[in-house]
Structure 1
Amino acid sequence: MATLKASSLLLNSSINFSSSNSKQRGIVRATINIPKRVISNISLPTKGLIVDEKFSPKNANTITKINEKSSGPDPLVMAKLYAILEAVADRVEMHRNIGDQRTNWNTLLLTSINAITLAAATMAGIASISGGGAPEAAMKVSSTAMYVAATGMLSIVNKIQPSQLAEEQRNAVRLFKQLQNQIQIILSIGNPTAVDVKEMMEKVLALDEAYPLPLLGAMLEKFPADVEPAVWWPQNRRKQPKGINQGYNGWNGKLEKEMREIINVIKRKDKEEYLRLGGKALKLNKFLAISGPVLTGLAAIGSAFVGSPSHGDWAVVLGVAGGALASVVNALEHGGQVGMVFEMYRCNAGFFNLMEESIESNLREEELERRENGEVFEMKVGLQLGRSLSQLRDLAEASCVKGEDIEEFASKLF
């Protein structure tokens, strides 16, 4: 009806307003009596409404309280996430400070050992032309003592590899800051749950294991038998809750095929290349780490026999040339930071290994609702590889056509 006149409705209504007390302000109770013949002509929208015949004001108050509690995040979960966030921020500072300390170790020890070695070589040369007597003996003893000290220091430094330790701490700082950002995003835009708390705890502990702070007993093996990619993430990846992605999830046959081709390129090109380069850096580092102490040890023996008639000139050559070569080897190993280069290659291989596992875990999940949104996931893969979406699809198409003969690497970042 377009217009209803007041006289035709015959509303017999009585409205009672009561205020129970001064504390319950804004609560109004009203009773309206409307004839049934009027109600029968009014159609109300019922879509999305749940009608309960036993509904009463008491039930309404109870439902309101339940909704208020369920609408906000769990305070206990929030407190736990903030505790983890605080611990992660502390880890960032700890690894940054220790990384700076170990960088200083590398610089100071390199300079000190080379200075000691060159001084010992100089004393051995002077002892050979001093003409005997007390000056020659003093020079020989000093040169030998300095070579022995340099040999001991080189053995320790080559064992712990300060440049590699510093690179480990830099990687840990970057990864802990990445985890810190993830927690902040969950706190800002998400409704965190106990599952999020467990996942963040596992990531923190996995990073602690991958990049330990102490040296004794927990230091990573600096000269492993085989080069393995670095692993800093939990091995048991959690599944997304079922039904979190209702309807279209962005996945289709074309995207699945594209992701499989991207995995093939990562395995055949990027990951394999960095493991190969890591193996070469490891072999070079082993050779230099052994050569330095051996040369200073031989130089110490040669300097001890300088001036001896029975040993001729070879002692002088060994005492002087051995020290000079040891300085060159030490400068190449620690000045060139070969250990740091090996750790960088190992970490890059780990990055591609993580990408491979992430893509495979989504493809293995048969229930699309448990997968990460396909469009978002494709964009993330493109950003991690330094490619636009069109470049990513072109790479997948080229891999499909050329197969193992493809020359292009997946990543354009490094």
Structure 2
Amino acid sequence: MEEMRLKEENTAINSTKMQPMMKNAREENHVSQLYAIMEAVADRAEMHAIIGEQRNNWNHLFLHSINFITLTASIMAGISSIPAAQAAAPHLLAFKLSSALLFTAATGMMLVVNRIQPSQLAEEQRNATRLFRQLEKSIRTALALRTPTKLDVEEAMARVLALDKAYPLPLLPGMLDKFPKTVKPAVWWPELDHSHLQRTRRAEGDGWSKELEEEMKGILGVLKRKDEEEYVRWDKLVLKINRILAVSGPLLAGLAAVGAGLIGIPALGLWPALVGVVGGALAATMNTLEHGAQVGMVFELLRNCAGFYLQLEEAIESNLGEKEVKNRENGEMLELKMALQLGRSVSELKSFASYASSSSKNGEAPEFAGKLF
């Protein structure tokens, strides 16, 4: 009996010692997993930066190449229509064929470039680079402030996958639709839950009050009615302009190719030369307006700005939707973050919230909540 009692005591002591060892092993495993995710995130940021620079170079190279080809073909079409050139049949044929071939090549290149929108691709990669670097910094902060848990690892992994989906690297397949039927704000974050709110809640208090809730509701209403809606409206307009330019350029270049091929036919007179020269000049103009002005990049920029405000809206709604105040993010911290992201001080944010509430009651349109963009 004495031996059995001693064995039971030794077993209990060993199990007590093993519990903190197992806990430390789990914590070390979570730290190792977060470091692995952070290394992958840093690598993703570098990949997006390199590919973004490459696609920006594509935009400049295609822009200048297509314009050079189109204008050269227009000059050849004009030369082939000169009576002195028409008197020498071999020279006329050479200029006609060269002009028609160059116009055809320009049409094909325009169709490809207008489909992939290199300036928009470059903007996607620039934004992805910034967001991946932001995620890397947030992981470093989490490792420095507290011992990571399984929830930290899962949240970091979900954010990586959401970014991969929002800003894909491959062109075909996987590229985002450059001419969507409906314009929506960009979404690069996973669906919010309350686990991350519980981790950011401070021990000394929740920081929420009735006044803060009313302040957040007022800001939320302005973000929905003014900021997000304004960027979506401008985004729709830019998309329409981009569609018109994307169709006009190849169409004009194709007409110029047909006109250049018909130069020299007596029954048609000077019309083929006119179509070839003027069509080529207009095609170069449309191409310059679309890719020189980087209309695709402007579309993506506005879409990302609308997504920025949508993310703020979801953060506020996620906190206000949680009835248990202890499960919300700390109110003072949320207020500080909102002020920084909207380009205001905390006192300015409070004043703006009260002004927005009074404006909505009086039926007036308040100013925009964000001052950064």
TM-score, length-normalised on structure 1? 0.83
Aligned to 1:233: 189
Aligned to 1:345: 302
Of 312, 329, 340, 1:355 maps to 312
CA contact (8 A) 2:115 2:178 kept: yes
Of 77, 98, 122, 2:30 maps to 77
| Superposition pairs of residues 5-24 of structure 1, within 5 angstroms | none
What is the CA-CA distance between 1:58 and the residue it aligns to?
11
Of 26, 48, 54, 1:95 maps to 48
Aligned to 1:181: 137
From the CA coordinates, give the structure whose radius of gyration is larger: 1
CA contact (8 A) 2:103 2:254 kept: yes
Aligned to 2:369: 410
Q: CA separation of 1:406/1:218 partners in 2, compared to 1, >3 Å: closer, same or farther?
A: same
What is the CA-CA distance between 1:70 and the residue it aligns to?
5.0
Aligned to 1:271: 228
Cα deviation, 1:33-85, whole Å, max 9, x if unaligned, reads xxxxxxxxxxxxxxxxxxxxxxx999899867755775797111111111100
State whether structure 2 residue 62 is matched by structure 1 residue 109.
Answer: yes
User: How far apart, in 2, do the equivalents of 1:369 and 1:127 lie?
Assistant: 81
Q: CA separation of 1:188/1:243 partners in 2, compared to 1, >3 Å: closer, same or farther?
A: closer
Structure 1 vs Structure 2 CA RMSD: 2.1
Determine what percentage of the aligned residue pairs are the same residue. 52
State whether structure 2 residue 358 is matched by structure 1 residue 396.
Answer: no
User: How far apart, in 1, do the equivalents of 2:202 and 2:12 lie?
Assistant: 33
User: How far apart, in 1, do the equivalents of 2:77 and 2:23 lie?
Assistant: 82
Aligned to 1:131: 86
Of 247, 251, 259, 2:208 maps to 251
Cα deviation, 1:279-310, whole Å, max 9, x if unaligned, reads 01100000000000000000001111112111
SS in 1 for 2:217: helix
SS in 1 for 2:184: coil
What is the CA-CA distance between 1:406 and the residue it aligns to?
2.5
| Superposition pairs of residues 154-173 of structure 1, within 5 angstroms | 154-173=110-129
Residue identity in the other structure for 1:92: A
Cα deviation, 1:130-152, whole Å, max 9, x if unaligned, reads 12410001000000000000000
User: How far apart, in 2, do the equivalents of 1:280 and 1:407 lie?
Assistant: 23
CA contact (8 A) 1:265 1:399 kept: yes
Of 154, 161, 170, 1:205 maps to 161
What is the CA-CA distance between 1:187 and the residue it aligns to?
1.0
Aligned to 1:86: 39
Residue identity in the other structure for 1:106: N
Q: CA separation of 1:295/1:242 partners in 2, compared to 1, >3 Å: closer, same or farther?
A: closer
Q: CA separation of 1:185/1:72 partners in 2, compared to 1, >3 Å: closer, same or farther?
A: farther
**Greater Cα shift, 217-226 or 66-75:** 66-75
Q: Unpaired runs of 5+ in structure 1? A: 1-55
Residue identity in the other structure for 2:28: P
Of 232, 250, 268, 1:293 maps to 250
Residue identity in the other structure for 2:44: R
What is the CA-CA distance between 1:394 and the residue it aligns to?
1.1
User: How far apart, in 2, do the equivalents of 1:113 and 1:293 lie?
Assistant: 11
User: How far apart, in 2, do the equivalents of 1:396 and 1:194 lie?
Assistant: 37
Residue identity in the other structure for 1:168: E
SS in 1 for 2:273: helix
SS in 2 for 1:310: helix
SS in 2 for 1:413: coil
What is the CA-CA distance between 1:215 and the residue it aligns to?
0.5
**Greater Cα shift, 297-306 or 63-72:** 63-72
Q: Unpaired runs of 5+ in structure 2? A: 1-8
User: How far apart, in 2, do the equivalents of 1:70 and 1:64 lie?
Assistant: 11
**Greater Cα shift, 268-277 or 66-75:** 66-75
CA contact (8 A) 1:152 1:293 kept: yes
CA contact (8 A) 2:194 2:328 kept: no
State whether structure 2 residue 289 is matched by structure 1 residue 336.
Answer: no
CA contact (8 A) 1:116 1:147 kept: yes
CA contact (8 A) 1:110 1:331 kept: yes
User: How far apart, in 2, do the equivalents of 1:410 and 1:300 lie?
Assistant: 51
User: How far apart, in 1, do the equivalents of 2:201 and 2:334 lie?
Assistant: 15
Residue identity in the other structure for 1:188: A
Of 223, 247, 262, 2:179 maps to 223
Q: Which has more helix, going by share of residues?
A: 2
State whether structure 2 residue 106 is matched by structure 1 residue 150.
Answer: yes
User: How far apart, in 2, do the equivalents of 1:320 and 1:120 lie?
Assistant: 8
User: How far apart, in 1, do the equivalents of 2:200 and 2:335 lie?
Assistant: 21
SS in 2 for 1:131: helix
**Greater Cα shift, 326-335 or 401-410:** 401-410
Residue identity in the other structure for 1:369: K
What is the CA-CA distance between 1:314 and the residue it aligns to?
1.1
SS in 2 for 1:409: coil
Q: CA separation of 1:324/1:235 partners in 2, compared to 1, >3 Å: closer, same or farther?
A: same
User: How far apart, in 2, do the equivalents of 1:288 and 1:242 lie?
Assistant: 49
